[in-house]
Amino acid sequence: MKILIIKLGALGDVIISTSIINQIIKHHKDDEIFVLTTPAFTDLFAHFKKAKVCAFDRKGLFNAIRTIRWIRKQRFSCIYDLQSNDRTSLYCALSGSSDRAGNHPRYPYTKYPAKTYHGECHSFERLNQIIKSANIAPAEPLPYLPVSAPVRNKVSIWMRSHKLTKNSFAIFHAGSSPSHTKKRWPYFQELALKIHKTLDIIWVGANDDVELNIELSNTVGINATNYFDIHGLVELGKHARFAVTNDSAPMHILSCSQIPIFGLFGPTYPRRTHALGQLNNVISANKIIAKDDFTFKPADISKISLDIVLTKLAEQKLI
């Protein structure tokens, strides 16, 4: 059989989906498997050796037509739509495949969770419900993102150049996209100044974080903005004592490192988007993350005081 797995983005969501995709691949070990994504994420799926990765731009009518024509030409026996938005629902509807698993209990999906999703659980849990509807065993809540030897070597060289050893530093991501500045906790510099005498501080991020990280690192810490790609950040995280981040893509990337990740949440809902396996390390201005409480109102992230974060770190004997 030919199997198609659809996961287009965004970055954090793609990382969350990796163990789900790996579980589907294991289930279909004797089948020909394709992963459909966007060009920005092809490298993230390169380690799935048993899957062929195909990428199409998702914007515009022309690209939608190209993608649908490609899907129909492949004659897939089964499709797992892990995106399940309007665009990918259309892909499935016009795919020609008779077996289509997705998030919504309606057409075009033939396999789906029994109840409509209203955000009552983490997105990873919902993906597990999708594959369970297709009789696939659930995946473990740990992203699957292996790191190659060249990446490990690059990180090792960088650490030696900065005289860093395992557990001698903490990773901070203080930024966010320019369109979501309300996600930014305003006390990162104060936190860094409190702990830098015992731990080095590494400021990480990408283009959106350049100016902020220059300002922060001028006071304390090492500016590693844009130095590490996704796999490099995973490897760096494996050597860190812990990480503190806003609700951001680096939070999800660092969850692959299996270190404590303290995600700071204000305007966004931690129940749906916390780093996998890190619910106990969520620090929320809203403080509504109980399993039986589904209400949520965005809160000002500055309501998370410096003392709250310091106490959380001290409780786990990390500082």
pLDDT band at 286 (very low <50, low <70, confident <90, very high): confident
Q: 142 lies in a domain?
A: no
202, β-bridge pairs = 171, 222
Q: 139 lies in a domain?
A: no
DSSP letters for 205-219: --GGGHHHHHHHHTT
* 188 and 129 fall within a common domain: no
Q: Give the other-Cβ count within 10 Å of 220's Cβ.
A: 18
Q: Give how many domains the chain has, as a whole number.
A: 2
* 187 and 123 fall within a common domain: no
Q: 140 lies in a domain?
A: no
* 250 and 297 fall within a common domain: yes
pLDDT of residue 287 exceeding 70, the answer is no
* 262 and 233 fall within a common domain: yes
* 33 and 85 fall within a common domain: yes
* 182 and 304 fall within a common domain: yes
pLDDT tens digits for 229-240? 999 999 999 999
Full-prediction pTM beyond 0.75? yes
pLDDT tens digits for 29-84? 999 999 999 999 999 998 898 999 999 998 999 999 999 999 999 999 999 999 99
Which residue segment(s) compose the domain that 164 sits in? Answer: 149-315
pLDDT of residue 252 exceeding 60, the answer is yes
Question: Averaged over 202-229, what is the pLDDT?
Answer: 97
* 121 and 199 fall within a common domain: no
Separation between Cα atoms, residue 165 and residue 187, nearest integer Å: 26
Q: 164 lies in a domain?
A: yes
Separation between Cα atoms, residue 151 and residue 88, nearest integer Å: 33
- Angle at alpha carbon of residue 173, lines to 170 and 179, rounded to 5°: 175
Nearby residues of 185 by Cβ (< 8 Å), 6 or more positions away: 174, 246, 264, 266, 301, 302, 304
Separation between Cα atoms, residue 256 and residue 145, nearest integer Å: 7
Q: Tokens standing for 151?
A: 């990446």
- Residue type, position 318, single letter: L
Nearest Cα residue to 262 out of 190, 188, 196: 188
Q: 144 lies in a domain?
A: no
* 117 and 157 fall within a common domain: no
CATH number at residue 125: 3.40.50.2000
